[in-house]
Amino acid sequence: MQTWIILFVAILSEVVATSALKASEGFSKLGPSVLVVVGYALAFYFLSLTLKVMSVGIAYAIWAGLGIVLTAIIGWLIFEQKLDTAALVGMGLILLGVIVINVFSNASGH
């Protein structure tokens, strides 16, 4: 259970950092730029802790998949970026893939 919490912290850190990257406007704004560096540092640190228990392919698939979906939602909510039907279907497939890995794969380390 602790591994999943650590992985979730890594995912959230990456989502915050990526969202701040947009807000930094090419690293021209100090606050968001600092958040980018700190967020990515935390994301990779917590991901590295997860890799002590979970295989790299599975951990990265979950990290990247959920990161994509959460970042797209942040983009929609905060930056008013549009999500069309194809984007929503694609994100649904990504989430389905994460569920399949967690429920059916013996390689996920749970």
On whether residue 87 sits in a domain, the answer given is: yes
Is the pLDDT at 110 greater than 70? The verdict is no
Of 73, 59, 70, which Cα lies nearest the Cα of 101? 59
On whether residue 109 sits in a domain, the answer given is: no
Structure confidence by residue, pLDDT tens digits, 1-55:
799 999 999 999 999 999 999 999 999 999 999 999 999 999 999 999 999 999 8
On whether residue 110 sits in a domain, the answer given is: no
Distance CA 88, CA 61 (A): 19
Range(s) of the domain holding residue 88: 2-104
pTM assigned to the model: 0.86
Domain count, the chain: 1
